[in-house]
Amino acid sequence: MAASSFRDLRVWQEAMKLTTEIYKSTSAFPKHELYGLSQQIRRAAVSVPSNIAEGKGHRSDKEFVHFLLHARGSLLELETQLLISEELQYVRKEEAQRLLTLAEGVGRALSGLINSMREKAA
């Protein structure tokens, strides 16, 4: 049975959890990063569930896949920014790994949904 709302999608739920964890983690970043890397990370994180939700609101599977691909792009951006944050020691290695593991789970779920939607459209 297809999900009736974006809120029913497991990938959206996982992306929301990741986003809230990102906000908690970036609140401990240095104050001089308030409008720098921490904001970029937050924007990338918010973009993931937002694109999933926006895509779900479109009428065609093709459009939905388009937004899912944008969500995946934002997720990869987020992963890169987390690695930069770890290198700069803004986040502990263990915390970075925890967040990256969450991100990888979202990525797997996104890829699965993208593949499923493409098969359905074919």
CA dihedral 10, 52, 56, 8 (to 10 degrees): 20
Top pLDDT among 69 and 119 is at 69
Q: What is the mean pLDDT of residues 99-116?
A: 97
Q: Average pLDDT, stretch 81-102?
A: 97
Q: Residue 47 is part of which domain span? A: 6-121
10 vs 110: CA distance, rounded Å? 10
Query: What pLDDT, on the 0 to 100 scale, is given for residue 1?
Result: 38
pLDDT, tens digit, 9 for 90 and up, residues 50-70: 999 999 998 889 999 999 999
Distance of CA 33 to the CA centre of its chain: 21
H or E segment and range at residue 71? helix 61-87
Whether residue 26 is contained in a domain is answered as: yes
On average, the pLDDT of the chain sits at: 94
User: Are the C-beta atoms of 37 and 85 separated by less than 8 Å?
Assistant: yes
Helix 37-56 crosses helix 10-26 at what angle (to 10 degrees)?
160
CATH number at residue 85: 1.20.1440.60
98 inside domain? yes
Q: What pLDDT was estimated at residue 3?
A: 55
